[in-house]
Amino acid sequence: MYTADIRKPLVLGGKTYTDVTNDICRPIENKPTNSWWLGFSIAVLLLLVLAGTLAWTVWEGIGTWNVNKSVMWGWDITNFVFWVGIGHAGTLISAVLLLFRQKWRMSINRSAEAMTIFAVFCAAIFPLFHMGRVWLGFWPLPLPNAFGSLWVNFNSPLLWDVFAISTYLSVSLVFWYLGLIPDIATIRDRATTKARKFWYGFFAMGWNGSAKAWGRYEVVALILAGISTPLVLSVHTIVSMDFATSVIPGWHTTIFPPYFVAGAIFSGFGMVLTLLLIARHVMNYENYITSEHLEAMTKVILLTGSIVGVAYITEFVIAAYSGYEYEQYAFANRMFGPYAWAYWTMMFCNLMAPQVFWSKWARTTPWFIFVISIVVNIGMWFERFVIIVTSLHRDFLPSSWVMYHATWVEVGIFLGTFGLFFTCFFLFAKFLPVINMAEVKTIIKDKE
Amino acid sequence: MLKLEGSYICGIPERAHYQMYKSKTHIALTALFIFSSTLSFSNNMSSFYSESTFIALVILSVVLAAIAALLFGIKKHLTALQNEKIGTETEPSFYDSKIKPITSKWNPTIATLVIAGLLMVVLGGFGYKFGMDEVGVQQGYSPTQPINFSHKIHAGQYEIDCKYCHSTVEKSKSASIPSLNTCMNCHKYVKAAEKYNGKTSPEIQKIYDAIGFDGDNMEYIKGYDQKPIEWVRIHNLPDLAYFNHSQHVVVGKVECQTCHGPIQEMDKVYQYSTLQMGWCIDCHRERGIDSENNAYYEEVHKNMIAEGKDYVTVAENGGLECSKCHY
Amino acid sequence: MSSNKYWKGVEELEQTQEFVSSNANEFSEGLPLEKIFSNDDATRANRRDFLKYFGFGLGAVTLAACNKAPIKKAIPYTEKPDNVTPGVPLYYASSSVSNSEGFPVLVKVREGRPIKFEPNKEATYFGGGLDGLGHSAILSLYDTNRLKGAMVAGKTKPVAWADFDKEVIKALSTTTKTIAIVTNGSTSMVTNQAIADFKAKYTNTEVVAYEPISYSGITRANNASFGSAVIPAYNFQNADVVVSFGADFLGTWISPIKFHADYSKNRVPKEGKMSKHFQFESLMSLTGANADVRVPIKMSNVGQHLVALYRELGGATPVNGMETAGNSIKQAAAALKGAQGKALVICGSNNEQDQILVNAINTMLGSYDSTIDITNYYKGQSADEKDFDAFLAKAKTGAYGAVITLEANPAYSHAGSASAFAKIPVRISTAITLDETSETATHIATGLHPLESWDIKQPYNGRFIFSQPTISPVFEGRHAASSLVAFTGIDVKDTEDFSHAYVYTKNVFTSSIGNNFNEAIEKGIVENVATATVPSFNVTTGSIISEISARKKADSELILYQKVGVRDGAYGNTPWAHEMPDPVSKVTWDNYLSVAMADAKANGWDLGDMVAVSTANGKYELPVLIQPGQSKGTFGIALGYGRVLPPEVQNDLKDLGQNVYPLVDMKAGFANYTVSGVTIEKIAGAAKYEFGITQSHYSIEGRDIIREASLEDFKKDPKAGQHIHKPKPITLWEDYDYSKGHHWGMAIDMNTCTGCSACIVSCSIENNVPIVGRDEVRRRREMHWIRIDRYYSFEAPTTKDLSLSIVYGGDQTVKAGEQMSQEKVMEAYAEATEDKATAYDYYENVQVAHQPMMCQHCDNAPCETVCPVLATTHSSEGLNQMTYNRCIGTKYCGNNCPYKVRRFNWFRYNENEKFDYHFSNDLGKMVINPDVTVRSRGVMEKCSFCVQRIQSTKLTAKRENRKINTDEFTTACAQTCPSNAIVFGDLNDANSEIAKLYRDDRSYHVLEELGVKPSVQYLTKIRNK
Amino acid sequence: MVDKSILLDNKKFTVGTFTDSDKLLHAVETLRKKEVKIFDCYTPFPVHHLDHALGYTRTNLTIGAFLCGMLGTLSGFTLAYSMNVVDWPMIIGGKPQDINVFTSFIPVIFELTILFTAFGMVIMFFARNRMIHGIKEDLLDRRQTDDHLLLAIDNSEEQSLSNDEIQSILINEGAVKVKGNVESFNTSLTTEEDLEIVIGNNEGAAVIN
């Protein structure tokens, strides 16, 4: 008989299968609480901001942003990389931790995967709407056309992005959905209204928990996890290639792929922590998301934060050692130039702040973890800002050096994506089980 | 020394000066005299119409379908409620009675694959169609012209050389619609009166009215306020594509009919070709250049012989490069 | 929604303009929204209506219902002129519009529309170039605010010419007082003949010349020295040493385009020799930026410097004069002495005494007959303000019964003229737009634009320039000469065959120039010059020198100067001239108070601070711009701004800058542009002004972008300046073989490029580059395809001087000349200096380098690799092709361009009320080059190497069954460059100029270590220090 | 909606309900030892080794996934190569126009491999399990996806043991409830009562025929 080799029970409170089902289905089967409505309204409000600012951008032109002749990417691509990065933790938690048989993942992977998908939604907005002619957004797809046919450029990292992001989104969706099917079936079988019976029945695809199905299911989940792992690494590698394959000093760096991946995991875990700590508090899931989970995640944050920190320093040393004046200047400019504030914010948030997790107290105190997780999110946004804007604003020819500050439209779009993200998340929390019931039931009896 | 297009013209004959200077018109009129086809056009509006119509219809049908579905659903629900109240058994729907028994026998595996396959085919087909139609096509466009000019009579029956009227086809990017004095070279005498009981043909009369010619006395009316003929353009290439007639006719030795079709048989001209980029590209990929008889292509011809080829296509000579047409 | 409303215009007559001029929405594919946005016809209201309806959903049905193809008309000529082939441009020799004295150009005409000026390369005396203002002035033809016909005060609509003439003749013939004619000191022989005819009828006529910028110092001095009140012709090509005292001869002084060409002939080192140029000046002028030795002085002291030079050269004088730092006068004198007969000294002062001394020096140096030609003298701009002041004084007494202003605008540029003019009851103007003078006129005999007119001008004695109409008059104007003749009662109605102006002009020609009028206008220039003679100098300099020495040095002086783009402001309504960045300050659209760094630091001023400038003549509020190279204690404000334009003008041209003409100091009997007694105070609490500035970083940061070497080093080693250790780029693949066919390339000689920016405007017009306005330039979104990078470097203190070890970016000790940031080093140096009063004086001594930068057409272009949709690819002829219609606007290419030369269409710049320049009105669109697509919003654009010219030339050759001739054509920038700094051609043609330059030892690529293999070569700048 | 009746069409089952996965597993092992043919088990969560205990062979979906992946690799390469090299080669930043440009294709090939693998495998999984949107489920117990673990034996199959023997084994193995003649169902809604029943242990277990 296989027993997970863990020190403490991952589910507290002596829950039975029934308790698990009841606890997790409660928000779905009951009317939403006032706090849900409040949060949802705020999110929808922000979503309207997104709609408004995007409409304005399309109506007037990208000129409504403050990007200029030298800094042609600003907040848009910063936000894109930020959101894609956040997305990574979800896949990582469910796929990589599955491969490593880390059972503590089980109560958090569902929401982490949901976060992935919503974050990729948010991310996808930016490359689409940063285009001058968004209505031609389908042109990067290799479709036959009446131009002869004119195809696409397989040399372009942006095209790789198109493939990577769409693959990532669809595979993540499939993975997430696959995991949801047994739980949807559970809700279906508990349904007391026709609508619920119909819709959950529709999405449950006739699942009935047959042992044959479970056998195949486990194999499929394992293989999906197996291919999702290189996928998730490849996606941020390819995103980093947007920069790494260019010639701009500060971008043209071979360290970018691992550095971006570590940063993505780092920021993703930050976001997962932020969300889980809220969900845990609001939905009373303390028994499922225990301090064991929090501690494990803070350790990952500590690790990846340090990897990112090493990358920062490595980058710097390489620049200094390169003997290449443009590269040297680019990094000196990051530290002491007009955007030094962004650089030092990034250094503080990403390198220094996570180091507090060496302390056990810090790793197990939810409010403190929450604060640090926010700091990590801010830091990782600034990392992308530093990479994109400070590299572009002073590159090779000093004649083209410029400053860049966002307009209200750019800020509005960024805030708006939070609206989209949280709208999706609130709907998810209302209509789907936030914790993977089937998996949690398997570890309910796993003891020390 | 810089010389574009021959030499720069100086010392226009005085008559021309007079013409330029004499006409005290608003600049719009200056523009009016200008043969419009010299400039490419701003819109390819056909695409506007076809696409806007299409999209508007799609939006509309989706909205209507949704409303219809909603209404239908409400009706069904109400009927069910009604029946429940009265206690009568709801009559099984068409679906329940006819379709369901059949579909319930389907093998889900096969059904899944078939449905997925169908969906892919439909979506793929739609995508392909969308891609192909992306550029508006006005093939077959045949508007009514202010004068019912027949190419069949002029080019077909009387075998007038195309270049007689479209005189700039060998010199300029545009073939040019002939100015009225070109028409008058013949129609000063040709009035087709035999068909109209000794009167000037009404179509030819339109020329006279425009240029100010007194058909009865066979002389130009002095001081006549001339009105140009506003022909309707048939071949509308979008502005973003530079097409030069002289390049194709003189250098490429392309027959008019290759692109314009059997123009000598057209009573009413229509657009023969699609004028899509793919159409241009197809020709460029197939057609060879006349490298042997043009000193410009001397090097190309030498290389061609060296490589043992019979001919070099336009594409091989860089004819597929973007800025050959787009700038 | 009414579909008719939408498309109605198409059927209307006016809309024919649209196809002529508007390429507005060239991108016809894609979703229809864009088309609706960009529909030429739709007014803004319609656009909004559309959205409203579309949003409602029902609109979509309506739209779907009107399913008929929009009709486009093709309207042929009724009678086609013989020489017009639609689609083929014609070139007419004519005269530049912005140079009222006459400057030979060609006018490119497409289907009856002049669309561009091009230099007349056959007029070699004038140099074969054209400046930015000259190019941009073509827009004055297509100005919607031009007067539509003869105007009479009190009436809003034009009146019939016959009635107008009757009224004017009545007024002129009834007055018993004097009739005045105010000319612009015109060199027009036609106008002069008309004035003569007018005078014959009205014998009580006085003629007075007026020009906004005065060179009376020179004319008076020449009158005193040689007995002829003229501005001589200067021949810089003969000068081995040029010493200029505040004369901005490359930018604004007298005839800068010609001077450019002449000057540049000696600037390329040939056999180890090039000319040496000393510039003593207070503001940083374009000329100073190109000088080998630039010495900051105060213009109020220029006389003393001249005295010092005079003495050094051996002139007998008891006074020492003033020496400047580093014994610059001594050096200059030594150089001048060594170049006897090949030297030239000029001075920008308008003071007669200064100029007499300059004449004395030039006589000593034997410059006359060699570098100065007083026989075939310059005839333009020779109006003397003395005459005009006398006229004004007399006018104030009410002595004049009528005044006719011919193309002069004294009300704008002369402070006292408005009140004097008001005393004259009949004021007739021949302006073509409502300017400050014609606004108060009682009658406007609306003239013709020069491009609509016949004219003969004589800019130099014996050199005649011809203008011919290239378009039929846009509005109901009448040639000014015809108007003058009409006022004598002669019928000037056009006859059956000829216009009056044509006959009149031809008569002037045959009576005073020659017989073959047709040949003359074909060539555009007739030269009939006399052999130069050496005039005898007959002034004793003693008293002048003592007077000069007695002048008091001003603590602070205000210098009123002209900007290269806008000049005297006469063409203030042509937006291209304003969007062209100032070659030195790189500021667009504004004038400002330029101050020295030392003054700014001492007074706590910063860039954009608003200050109040007050002199005896008035007080103005202006923003501060800190100008490196400017002398401490001097302040500069540009003239030519603050034009009062018709109320219809609502774009950035409205209320543009401050008109500081009233500050010109007239006390000493001449127009003194150096004003003393100026106080400047920061306006407390005023918001900082933001300049539209295209380059905000001064320093080159010690980067290997501009390579330079001294002439000494260059003589020893022709590869001097190039010995920079660079890693050799390697490639994974074999490069594409460009050796077949054509391989287009460009070379730019940084020795001859002066930074004058003419190429920017020429390129913009050729390639339909939009004008974006000040606010967009502030956001750093100017659209110019070619820009001129300007870098300052300090004539740096050595490491020893600095005695500072500054750590910057690692532990690198910064050495002068190879700093990572020279500015920072100098700043630290200044802060460490004990003597705060002189801490920032080093900012006076800066070197300037100009570097034109456009798409480098890299063979391994980084932009091409990253475009996902192949919108930018390479042609087999080495061109980096930008395909606008394929572009979806990811902007990735722009980011990945190391040269940052790609420009993005942030907005829709045509047909947009926010960008209300010529692209947005039907008349202005006439100037659009029909061979180049007008870009829609959301696409990238950049320099194309004028691919439309390449294609057109290739096609002509193919059609004519021949190869392309060597250097048969060139790009718009190269063509217009007055100093021939830009060369374009086929690298595979071994005989071409470009192939030779590519083999030159001085040539290098910018950022060659990136391995992108640019197709633009730069030639090392050699300084003759 | 389509019924999933193909799976359990008109069959009658003997169903043992467990509330503990270990007990279920043990029951399966015991029955299998006695050569009882078990139709299938239905559990709300994956019970480890259950498939092994039931004697199911390892699924060969992995081979299918591999083939799909190969197809993806091939399509990716074909797509890129045919577009950028064969159909319309262009000079792009000095990059080669032949097979040497292969390195640029790698990211796209990789992504398509993943995409094809994932989708191919999941579609095969659904097909193999006869799962499709809208299909109706077959349930033997309303709580088989909640907290009941079912062991189903097809009554129509010939067994080595009698029905009663099997049922008693099930009860002995800890089944909380054993029903002898169960048909699949999928129609009615769940009621509140259904959810309120809590089955703690097997003390009250009874065979319900």
Please report the pLDDT score of residue C612 as a whole number. Answer: 92
CATH number assigned to the domain covering A17-143+154-443? 1.20.1630.10
Please report the pLDDT score of residue D203 as a whole number. Answer: 44
In the chain, the amino acid numbered D188 is S
Number of neighbours of residue C957 by Cβ within 10 angstroms: 18
Which residue in B2, A430, B270 sits closest to C975, CA to CA? B2
Residues of A in contact with B137 (CB under 8 A): 146
Assign residue C583 the CATH number of its domain.
2.40.40.20
Helix H or strand E encompassing C892: helix C892-896
Question: Are B294 and C79 inside 8 Å of each other by CB?
Answer: no
Task: Indicate whether C113 and C180 sit together in one domain.
Answer: yes
Question: Are A143 and B128 inside 8 Å of each other by CB?
Answer: yes
For residue C879, the 8-state DSSP code is: -
Task: Indicate whether C9 and C131 sit together in one domain.
Answer: no
Domain that holds residue C569: 554-693
Question: Are C86 and B172 inside 8 Å of each other by CB?
Answer: yes
Question: Are B112 and D3 inside 8 Å of each other by CB?
Answer: no
Please report the pLDDT score of residue C857 as a whole number. Answer: 92
Higher-pLDDT residue of C812 and D84 is: D84
Answer whether A145 touches B (CB < 8 Å): yes
What distance lies between CA C375 and its chain's CA centroid? 29
Among A residues 403-432, those touching chain D with beta carbons less than 8 Å apart: none
Question: Are D91 and C865 inside 8 Å of each other by CB?
Answer: no
| Mutation to test the C interface, candidates D83, D87, D91, most C Cβ within 10 Å | D91
Please report the pLDDT score of residue C982 as a whole number. Answer: 92
Q: What is the mean pLDDT of residues D7-11?
A: 63
Chains touching D (3+ CB pairs < 8 Å):
A, B, C
Tell me how close the Cα of A32 comes to any Cα of chain B, in angstroms.
26
Question: Are C13 and B238 inside 8 Å of each other by CB?
Answer: no
Answer whether D130 touches B (CB < 8 Å): yes
Per-residue confidence band for A322, with pLDDT thresholds at 50, 70 and 90: confident
Task: Indicate whether C870 and C997 sit together in one domain.
Answer: yes
C912 to chain A: closest CA residue: A60
Which residue in C264, C249, C178, C262 sits closest to C218, CA to CA? C249
B282 to chain A: closest CA residue: A148
Task: Indicate whether C246 and C328 sit together in one domain.
Answer: yes
Cα–Cα dist C755/C749, whole Å: 11
Which residue in C588, C596, C531 sits closest to C563, CA to CA? C588
Q: Are B311 and B288 in contact (CB under 8 A)?
A: yes
Q: What is the mean pLDDT of residues A123-129?
A: 91
Per-residue confidence band for A445, with pLDDT thresholds at 50, 70 and 90: low
3-state class (DSSP) for residue C58:
helix
Burial of C696 (0-12, 13-18, 19+ CB in 10 A): middle
Query: Number of CB pairs < 8 Å for A and B?
Result: 37
Please report the pLDDT score of residue A27 as a whole number. Answer: 80
Does C648 fall in a domain?
yes
Phi-psi region of A128 (alpha: psi -120 to 50; beta: other; left: phi over 0): alpha
Chains touching B (3+ CB pairs < 8 Å):
A, C, D
Sheet order of strands, C982-986 included: C982-986, C744-749, C1016-1019, C1003-1004
Answer whether C869 touches D (CB < 8 Å): no
Chains touching C (3+ CB pairs < 8 Å):
A, B, D
Q: Are C613 and C622 in contact (CB under 8 A)?
A: yes
Say if residue D110's pLDDT is above 90. Answer: yes
Q: What angle do CA A215, A218, A221 make, to 5 degrees?
A: 150
Of A66, A127, A136, the CB nearest to C779: A66
Give the β-pairing of C557-561 and C634-638. parallel
Please report the pLDDT score of residue B50 as a whole number. Answer: 46
Question: Are A133 and C853 inside 8 Å of each other by CB?
Answer: no
Residues of A in contact with C787 (CB under 8 A): 399
Question: Are D94 and C1013 inside 8 Å of each other by CB?
Answer: yes
The domain segmentation of chain A, as residue ranges, is 17-143+154-443
Task: Indicate whether C585 and C615 sit together in one domain.
Answer: yes
Which residue in C1005, C1013, C999 sits closest to C724, CA to CA? C1005
Residues of C in contact with B12 (CB under 8 A): 83, 468
Q: Are C754 and C850 in contact (CB under 8 A)?
A: yes
Say if residue D7's pLDDT is above 70. Answer: no
**Half-sphere exposure at residue C777, Cβ-oriented, CA atoms within 13 angstroms:** 24
Please report the pLDDT score of residue C53 as a whole number. Answer: 32
Tell me how close the Cα of D161 comes to any Cα of chain A, in angstroms.
23
Beta strands (DSSP E) in C832-918 are: 846-853, 872-874, 880-882, 903-904
3-state class (DSSP) for residue B113:
helix
Assign residue C970 the CATH number of its domain.
3.30.70.20
Query: Number of CB pairs < 8 Å for A and D?
Result: 220
> Between the ranges B219-228, C563-572, D70-79, D183-192, where is the mean pLDDT highest?
D70-79
Cα–Cα dist B217/B200, whole Å: 12
Cα–Cα dist B134/B136, whole Å: 6
**Cβ neighbours of residue C785 closer than 8 Å, sequence gap 6 or more:** C763, C764, C767, C769, C854, C855, C901, C903, C941, C942, C943, C944
| Mutation to test the C interface, candidates A80, A133, A393, A394, most C Cβ within 10 Å | A133
Q: What is the mean pLDDT of residues B192-215?
A: 82
Please report the pLDDT score of residue C873 as a whole number. Answer: 92
Residues of B in contact with D4 (CB under 8 A): 108
Q: Are C292 and C1022 in contact (CB under 8 A)?
A: no
Cα–Cα dist B137/D102, whole Å: 37
| Mutation to test the B interface, candidates C79, C109, C910, C911, most B Cβ within 10 Å | C79
Using beta carbons and an 8 Å cutoff, which residues of B are at the interface with D?
A: 103-104, 106-109, 111-113, 115-116, 320-321
Please report the pLDDT score of residue B223 as a whole number. Answer: 77
Q: Are A11 and A444 in contact (CB under 8 A)?
A: yes
Higher-pLDDT residue of C41 and D117 is: D117
Higher-pLDDT residue of B322 and B107 is: B322
Task: Indicate whether C372 and C395 sit together in one domain.
Answer: no
Please report the pLDDT score of residue C794 as a whole number. Answer: 74
Helix H or strand E encompassing C91: strand C90-95
Say if residue A223's pLDDT is above 60. Answer: yes
Which residue in C713, C705, C583 sits closest to C1024, CA to CA? C713
Assign residue C357 the CATH number of its domain.
3.40.228.10
Of B104, B107, B111, the CB nearest to D3: B104
Sheet order of strands, C293-296 included: C293-296, C276-281, C241-245, C343-347
Number of domains in chain C: 6
3-state secondary structure A132-196: CCHHHCCCCCCCCCCCCCCCCCCCCHHHHHHHHHHHHHHHHHHHHHHHHHHHHHHHHHCCCCHHH
Task: Indicate whether C356 and C391 sit together in one domain.
Answer: no
Q: Which two tokens stand for residue A192?
A: 């007391």
Distances (CA, A) of C227 to C230, C537, C563: 9, 9, 33
Does C771 fall in a domain?
yes
Q: Are C492 and C486 in contact (CB under 8 A)?
A: yes
Question: Are A154 and D143 inside 8 Å of each other by CB?
Answer: no
A132 to chain C: closest CA residue: C938
Tell me how close the Cα of B49 comes to any Cα of chain A, in angstroms.
17
Residues of C in contact with D100 (CB under 8 A): 732-733
Q: Which two tokens stand for residue C533?
A: 């003679």
**C900 φ, ψ (degrees, to nearest 5):** 50, 55
Q: Give me the sign of the Cα torsion angle C43, C46, C48, C50.
A: negative
Q: Which two tokens stand for residue C372?
A: 């100065």
Q: Which of A298-312, A351-365, C75-89, D91-105 has the lowest mean pLDDT?
A: C75-89
For residue C581, the 8-state DSSP code is: P
C867 to chain D: closest CA residue: D92
Dihedral Cα B176, B180, B184, B187, nearest 10 deg:
90
The rounded radius of gyration (Å) of the Cα atoms in chain B is 31
Please report the pLDDT score of residue C65 as a whole number. Answer: 34
Q: Which two tokens stand for residue D3?
A: 């019924």
Which residue in A310, A334, A324 sits closest to A389, CA to CA? A334
In the chain, the amino acid numbered C741 is G
pTM here?
A: 0.85
End-to-end CA distance of chain B: 25
D129 to chain A: closest CA residue: A213
Residues of B in contact with C957 (CB under 8 A): 296
Low-confidence ranges of chain C (pLDDT < 70): 1-71, 78-83, 321, 323-326, 496, 725-727, 795-837
Q: Which two tokens stand for residue B11?
A: 């010392």
Task: Determine the longest span between alpha carbons in chain C, in angstroms.
Answer: 96
Question: Are B134 and A144 inside 8 Å of each other by CB?
Answer: no
Q: Which two tokens stand for residue C126?
A: 């004038």
Burial of C352 (0-12, 13-18, 19+ CB in 10 A): buried
Tell me how close the Cα of A88 comes to any Cα of chain D, in angstroms.
16
| DSSP string over A213-237 | HHHHHHHHHHHHHHHHHHHHHHHHH
Does C715 fall in a domain?
yes
Say if residue A103's pLDDT is above 70. Answer: yes
Question: Are A185 and D145 inside 8 Å of each other by CB?
Answer: yes
C874 - beta bridge partners? C880, D91
Please report the pLDDT score of residue D107 as a whole number. Answer: 92
Helix axes C352-365, C302-312, angle to 10 degrees: 20
Please report the pLDDT score of residue C821 as a whole number. Answer: 52
Q: What number of residues does chain B have?
A: 327
Tell me how close the Cα of D205 comes to any Cα of chain B, in angstroms.
37
Answer whether A338 touches D (CB < 8 Å): no
Q: Which two tokens stand for residue D67?
A: 């083939």
Q: Are B172 and C86 in contact (CB under 8 A)?
A: yes
Q: Are B295 and C961 in contact (CB under 8 A)?
A: yes
Q: Which two tokens stand for residue C309?
A: 């030079």
Tell me how close the Cα of A150 comes to any Cα of chain B, in angstroms.
9
| DSSP string over D142-186 | TTTTTT-EEEEEETTS--SS-HHHHHHHHHHTT-SEEEEEE--B-
**A25 φ, ψ (degrees, to nearest 5):** -80, -15
Q: What is the mean pLDDT of residues A36-47?
A: 91
In the numeric block, the tokens 């206690």 are attached to B87
B56 to chain C: closest CA residue: C60
Of D88, D90, D126, the CB nearest to B112: D126
Answer whether B280 touches A (CB < 8 Å): yes
Which residue in C774, C100, C770, C61 sits closest to C381, CA to CA? C100
- Summarised one tens digit per residue, pLDDT across range A147-194 is 877 889 999 999 999 999 999 999 999 988 988 999 988 888 888 888
Of D92, D96, D100, the CB nearest to C874: D92
Number of neighbours of residue A193 by Cβ within 10 angstroms: 11
Distances (CA, A) of C895 to A1, A73, A343, C915: 59, 7, 21, 25
Cα–Cα dist C269/C239, whole Å: 14
